[in-house]
Amino acid sequence: MNNILVLPLALPVLVGILLIFFRSNIPLQRWVSFAVMVVNLGLSIYLLHEIHTEGILRLDFGGWKPPFGISFVADSFSVLLVMTTSIVTAICLLFAFSSMDRSHEKMFFYSFVNLLVAGVNGSFLTGDLFNLYVCFEVMLLASYVLLALGGRKVQLKEAIKYVVINVVSSWLFIVGIAYLYGMVGTLNLAQLSQRIAESGQPPLITVISIVFLTVFALKAGLLLYFWLPGSYAAPPIAIAALFGALLTKVGIYAMFRMFTLVFYHQPVFTHTIIGVLAGLTLIGGSIGAVAYRDIRQIVVYNVIISVGFILIGLAVATPEAMEGSIYYLIHDMIVKALLFLLAGVMITLTKTARMDQISGLIRNYPLLGWMFFIVMLSMAGIPPFSGFIGKVLVGQGAIESGSYLLLALAFGSSILVLYSLLRVFLSCFWGETIIDEEEMITAKKGWLIPCAILTITTIGLGLGAESIATYVSEAANTLLNPDKYIDAVLND
Amino acid sequence: MKTNNVILRTVIKIVVFIILTLAVYLFFSGHDSPGGGFIGGLVLASAFVLLFIVEDIATIKKGIPVDFKRVAALGAFIAVATGFGAIIFGEPFLTQTFGHFNLPIFGETHLTTVTIFEAGVALTVVGVVVSIILSISRDV
């Protein structure tokens, strides 16, 4: 028993509810929400350390032992993601302080950000399939509100699409859960894994696994990303950055969890499909990233490329590739938030999202330009930035298992990422400046400081990868040895 | 409602009390038979909705001067707070406990902390349902 495990979920829920009563006191709302994220960050670092010394942690809600009760299970993989979520959300909140309209802030913006984070953290930490569904729903409900908040026409249009897609995929999710419960008779992830291992994953269960794959592919934007470009480009910058950094990652996490812990007996079938999907996602995302001239669309398609890239690690499933995926997942959450924020600042400053109408920004805003340059290098995987180690490890895994096609796609897409962003950089930051000294809007400190912190984080994560290396290899180790997880949950 | 529904109004005056009693009954019976906070809350909300239909919204709002969004938040807060209560006593999150007490009028009574949790659920349901109905009615 370790009650700290539930706090990354329970604290944001509690604060999210309490802030409803302090609707008009915006400074309080801001700093309390920020404080929650900082506390969560501290808790997750503490938990990482605990897991390192004591092994996987578990909390049984209400004292009901698994498999009968609901439990939270924290292994290094989940806690690393909780940690990154806290960092990214805290910084997005900092950005929101100076960029959100007051009317947005009054309409429970901070409450819903807290609830969104609660859902995300809950999904990472839960040890129960049905609870995973519930946490997904908490997260999605909050994201529906955040997407539609403000009620501009484009937001409402995209919100309808987003809600419909997610309701359908949630329905599929619950159908999958029902099938699985009917077949195996349990929803505790560890016991599911145990029972499926006993039966050797018969074909029917493999079919059910495909239902889950479809669900998570919809949520993560793996090939089924048709809904994503619109809905991530519509909301205000801070919210879009949160979405880009967090939402698809939860789908990816669920896919990793399910296909390493539960459905791992037929890799020739399931993991091959994941590989094919990941490859197609890389191709589709790359085409999108190169094709558009709208900065927002380019940024959004970069989210899709990274989804494909991370899932190559799962498809290959060697220890190196897993580690690489985890590094890349952490890197991607930070870098995507940064990219969305930078793109948002550019659009706010120039009042257009068309990259051919912007030029010479670096004269007016040198810091912004250099940060964009760094994020570009980081995303392309150039050392010493954080994308490098993930790319190398995933590549190494792909070579070891002989998946040369995936390897080619992965690194081909990296070049296209570089190309698509370099195009933005050259067009927007170089050349004749379009903004006169008189007309120049000063970039607020509140916009640049969060971006700077994220930039420092991506450099720090690249140079200091050693500091999280033990935790990442532990996480990869747990993912590849389901017995560890099962032992911690059932045989303790 | 513009038409003067004398019969409906008269009936509702009595029926609302029956519904409210049923809601409270369902709420307390939930501990070990069908019922509970969710169902009790729904029935409670139906009483409010009936009142809103028969009288106009302004009158009822004057009679029940609460913001139902806040009711929902308060309910959710109570439910989560019972979870945190367990943490304060060093038990796993959401642990519930019970005991038998000798109260002056009721005699020996079975009291449980889960009732507090259920009260939170009931308030949330009332708040959410009434808020939804009110915001729909505004559009029409």
Task: Give the count of alpha carbons within 13 A of A302, CB side only.
Answer: 34
pLDDT mean over A182-202: 93
High-pLDDT (> 70) share of chain A, %: 100
pLDDT at B58 over 90: no
The CA R_g of chain A, rounded to the nearest whole Å, is 21
Cβ–Cβ of B80/A3 closer than 8 Å? Answer: no
- Phi/psi of residue B109, nearest 5 degrees: -125, 145
Chain B interface, best mutation among A17, A111, A115, by max B CB count within 10 A: A17
> Any chain A CB within 8 A of the CB of B80?
yes
- Phi/psi of residue A266, nearest 5 degrees: -120, 60
Write the single-letter amino acid at B134. Answer: L
pLDDT at B139: 61
pLDDT confidence tier of residue A214, bands split at 50, 70 and 90: very high
Kindly report, residue by residue over A430-446, the tens digit of the pLDDT. Answer: 888 877 777 778 888 88
Average pLDDT, chain B: 88
Chain B interface, best mutation among A3, A21, A110, A492, by max B CB count within 10 A: A3
> Any chain A CB within 8 A of the CB of B81?
yes
Q: Is residue A385 helix, strand or coil?
A: coil
Closest residue of chain B to A64, computed from CA coordinates = B95
Residues 6+ apart with CB under 8 A from A464: none
> Any chain B CB within 8 A of the CB of A441?
no
pLDDT at A436: 74
pLDDT at B140: 56
> Any chain B CB within 8 A of the CB of A203?
no
> Any chain A CB within 8 A of the CB of B53?
no
Tokens 């993601």 correspond to: A81
Residues of chain B with Cβ-Cβ distance to A131 below 8 Å are none
How many angstroms separate the CA of residue A432 from the nearest CA in chain B? 51
Stretch (H or E) spanning B112 = strand B107-112
Kindly report, residue by residue over B74-127, the tens digit of the pLDDT. Answer: 999 999 999 999 898 888 898 888 888 888 888 888 888 889 999 999 999 999
Q: b/e per residue, B90-128, with b = 16+ CB within 10 A?
A: ebbbbbbeeeeeeeeeeeeeeeeebbbbbbbbbbbbbbb
Q: Give the nearest partner residue to B80 out of A3, A17, A61, using CB atoms.
A: A17
Kindly report, residue by residue over A63-79, the tens digit of the pLDDT. Answer: 888 888 899 999 999 99
pLDDT confidence tier of residue B2, bands split at 50, 70 and 90: low
> Cα–Cα distance between A166 and A160 in angstroms, integer?
10
pLDDT at B35: 83
Residues 6+ apart with CB under 8 A from B62: none
Chain B interface, best mutation among A9, A19, A20, A71, by max B CB count within 10 A: A20
User: How many residues does this entry show for chain A?
Assistant: 492
Cβ atoms A219, A176 nearer than 8 A: no
How many angstroms separate the CA of residue A338 from the nearest CA in chain B? 33
Q: Which of A209-213, A306-310, A349-353 has the lowest mean pLDDT?
A: A349-353
Residues of chain B with Cβ-Cβ distance to A21 below 8 Å are 70, 73
> Any chain B CB within 8 A of the CB of A10?
yes
Cβ–Cβ of A61/B77 closer than 8 Å? Answer: no
How far is the first Cα of chain B from the last one, in angstroms, to the nearest whole number? 13
pLDDT at B70: 92
Kindly report, residue by residue over A327-383, the tens digit of the pLDDT. Answer: 999 999 999 999 999 999 999 988 888 888 888 888 888 999 999 999 999 999 988
How many angstroms separate the CA of residue A38 from the nearest CA in chain B? 20
pLDDT confidence tier of residue B63, bands split at 50, 70 and 90: confident
Q: Is residue A487 helix, strand or coil?
A: helix
Q: How many CB pairs under 8 A join A and B?
A: 41
Cβ atoms A329, A81 nearer than 8 A: yes
> Cα–Cα distance between B27 and A475 in angstroms, integer?
45
Name residues 44-63 of chain A within 8 A of B (Cβ).
59-63
Residues of chain A with Cβ-Cβ distance to B94 below 8 Å are 61-62
pLDDT at A288: 94
Q: Which of A36-45, A77-86, B97-106 has the lowest mean pLDDT?
A: B97-106
> Any chain B CB within 8 A of the CB of A14?
yes
> Cα–Cα distance between A413 and A312 in angstroms, integer?
12
Cβ–Cβ of B92/A63 closer than 8 Å? Answer: yes
ipTM: 0.89
pLDDT at A372: 95
Q: Give the nearest partner residue to B93 out of A10, A20, A21, using CB atoms.
A: A10
How many angstroms separate the CA of residue B95 from the nearest CA in chain A? 4
Average pLDDT, chain A: 93
Residues of chain A with Cβ-Cβ distance to B91 below 8 Å are 63
Q: Give the nearest partner residue to A61 out of B73, B84, B93, using CB atoms.
A: B93
Chain A interface, best mutation among B70, B84, B93, B112, by max A CB count within 10 A: B93
pLDDT at A142 over 80: yes
Give the residue, B82 or B55, on which the prediction is more confident: B82
Residues of chain B with Cβ-Cβ distance to A59 below 8 Å are 92-93
pLDDT confidence tier of residue B3, bands split at 50, 70 and 90: low
Task: Give the count of alpha carbons within 13 A of A286, CB side only.
Answer: 20
Largest CA distance in chain B: 59
- Phi/psi of residue A438, nearest 5 degrees: -70, -40
Cβ atoms A312, A275 nearer than 8 A: yes
How many angstroms separate the CA of residue A167 from the nearest CA in chain B? 19
Count CB-CB contacts under 10 A for residue A134: 15
Helices (H) and strands (E) in chain A, counts: 21, 2
pTM for the full predicted model = 0.94
Residues of chain A with Cβ-Cβ distance to B87 below 8 Å are 3, 6
pLDDT at B1 over 70: no
Residues of chain A with Cβ-Cβ distance to B127 below 8 Å are none
Tokens 């519904």 correspond to: B19
Q: Give the nearest partner residue to A63 out of B76, B83, B91, using CB atoms.
A: B91
Residues of chain A with Cβ-Cβ distance to B73 below 8 Å are 17, 20-21
pLDDT at B57: 81
Chain A interface, best mutation among B66, B94, B139, by max A CB count within 10 A: B94
The pair of structure tokens assigned to A341 is 């924020």
> Any chain B CB within 8 A of the CB of A68?
no
pLDDT confidence tier of residue A313, bands split at 50, 70 and 90: very high
> Any chain A CB within 8 A of the CB of B101?
no
Q: Give the nearest partner residue to B92 out of A13, A14, A59, using CB atoms.
A: A59
pLDDT at A405 over 60: yes
